[in-house]
């Protein structure tokens, strides 16, 4: 049986369709990558942190919640000092009124744990890893884990995640936190334990931040940003004013991390609203600059170009007399996110 040859026009239509599908897939991937920064750094994914005791205005709970609402922030990680203990419940009520999520609590306090149950909320509990002192890394890791075991069991009973928080020293090293997390998970049989990483306590890992983030990512509960200069001078810096900020934001984007992002106040000399706004504006400016940089995954469609495919399958910008395509050429016209293929056959 002899199979008749397919008409050249049909072959070209099929080739054109396959080309369009490939280009469209590349375009959709590029568009998804462009949307990733918008999702990760969207206001609803940002967590205000180091606000309560650092605000020069010393706002009360109601004023603080209203301020966060004005800024478009919908999550607060709550740090406190002894003078704030009588106002724990007022804080929960004010945040609820202004639809701000109470997403994390610094430290351990029985009054707050009782309120978690009263209001049926389950924020993370953030704690530093204690340094037991002498010993090998393995010995210290086991001792530190044992010191955190009660907190791990208590937070699990409350339905809260336990976040190990870097604050310098041996206990704040990424490798230490990972090892202690693994030990605690094994001891408790629970996966509610993770890591909260703070850039303002991570100046020693600027150079190898990509490797550290990659190692921590499976454990990471929250990533708190800061402007970053070599040597931590100054330690607290608005996002966008650090010499390493653009590279660090790119590393975060490339890592695939998709969890919460913390935005600091931590500047007691300044109104917290001004401090947080500086960070938000600095982050927005950085993201805009990054979006303008050449796209490493640019496709012909996303680049907005027109390409031609000859019947031999090669790419090129060939044209016939008068700028018309030659015979049997599949032409792909790309305009932003839309690709349209047509077969032009000159009789």
pLDDT beyond 70 at 119:
yes
Q: Return the percentage of the chain with pLDDT > 90, whole number.
A: 73
pLDDT beyond 50 at 329:
no
- Which two tokens mark 183? 């030990």
CA–CA separation, 184 and 169 (whole Å): 20
pLDDT tens for 30-42 read 444 555 677 999 9
pLDDT tens for 189-203 read 999 999 999 999 999
**Burial (CB count within 10 angstroms: exposed 0-12, middle 13-18, buried 19+), residue 77:** buried
How much is the average pLDDT of 112-130? 98
Q: Return the percentage of the chain with pLDDT > 70, whole number.
A: 74
Backbone angles phi, psi at 56, to 5 degrees: -60, -25
Of 6-10, 61-65, 275-279, 335-339, give the lowest mean pLDDT range: 335-339
Of 6-10, 98-102, 126-130, 282-286, give the lowest mean pLDDT range: 6-10
**Domains of the chain (ranges plus CATH)?**
8-35+304-344 (no CATH), 42-292 (3.20.20.150)
pLDDT beyond 70 at 88:
yes
- Mean pLDDT of the residues in the chain: 83
- Between 21 and 104, the more confident residue is 104
CA–CA separation, 323 and 227 (whole Å): 53
- pLDDT computed for residue 293 by the predictor: 77
- pLDDT computed for residue 37 by the predictor: 74
pLDDT beyond 70 at 275:
yes
How much is the average pLDDT of 301-322? 35
How much is the average pLDDT of 152-177? 98
Spatial CA neighbour of 240 closest among 197, 279, 200? 279
């Amino acid at each position: 049986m002899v199979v008749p040859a397919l008409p050249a026009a049909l072959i070209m239509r099929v080739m054109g369709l396959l080309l369009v599908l490939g280009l469209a897939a590349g375009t959709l991937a590029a568009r998804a990558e462009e949307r990733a920064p918008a999702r990760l750094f969207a206001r609803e994914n940002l967590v205000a942190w180091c606000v309560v005791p650092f605000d020069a205005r010393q706002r009360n709970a109601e004023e603080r919640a209203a301020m966060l609402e004005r800024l478009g922030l919908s999550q607060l990680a709550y740090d406190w000092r002894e003078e704030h203990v009588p106002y724990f419940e007022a804080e929960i009520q004010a945040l609820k009124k202004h639809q701000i999520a109470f997403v994390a609590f610094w430290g351990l306090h029985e009054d707050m744990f009782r309120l978690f149950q009263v209001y049926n909320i389950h924020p993370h509990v953030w704690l530093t890893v204690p340094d037991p002192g002498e010993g090998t890394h393995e010995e210290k890791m086991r001792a530190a884990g044992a010191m955190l075991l009660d907190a791990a069991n208590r937070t699990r009973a409350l339905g809260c995640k336990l976040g190990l928080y870097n604050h310098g020293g041996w206990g704040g090293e990424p490798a230490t936190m990972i090892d202690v997390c693994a030990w605690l998970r094994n001891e408790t049989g629970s996966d509610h334990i993770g890591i909260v990483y703070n850039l303002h306590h991570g100046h020693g890992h600027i150079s190898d931040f990509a490797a550290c983030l990659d190692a921590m990512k499976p454990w990471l509960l929250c990533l708190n940003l800061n402007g970053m200069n070599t040597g931590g001078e100054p330690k607290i810096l608005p996002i966008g004013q650090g010499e390493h900020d653009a590279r660090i934001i790119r590393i975060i984007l490339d890592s695939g991390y998709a969890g919460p992002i913390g935005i600091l106040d931590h500047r007691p000399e300044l109104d917290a609203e001004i401090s947080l706004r500086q960070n938000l504006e600095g982050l927005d400016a950085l993201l805009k600059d990054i979006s303008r940089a050449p796209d490493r995954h640019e496709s012909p469609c996303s680049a907005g170009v027109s390409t031609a495919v000859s019947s031999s399958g090669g790419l090129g910008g060939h044209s016939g007399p008068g700028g018309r395509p030659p015979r049997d050429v599949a032409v792909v016209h790309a305009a932003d996110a839309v690709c349209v293929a047509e077969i032009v056959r000159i009789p």
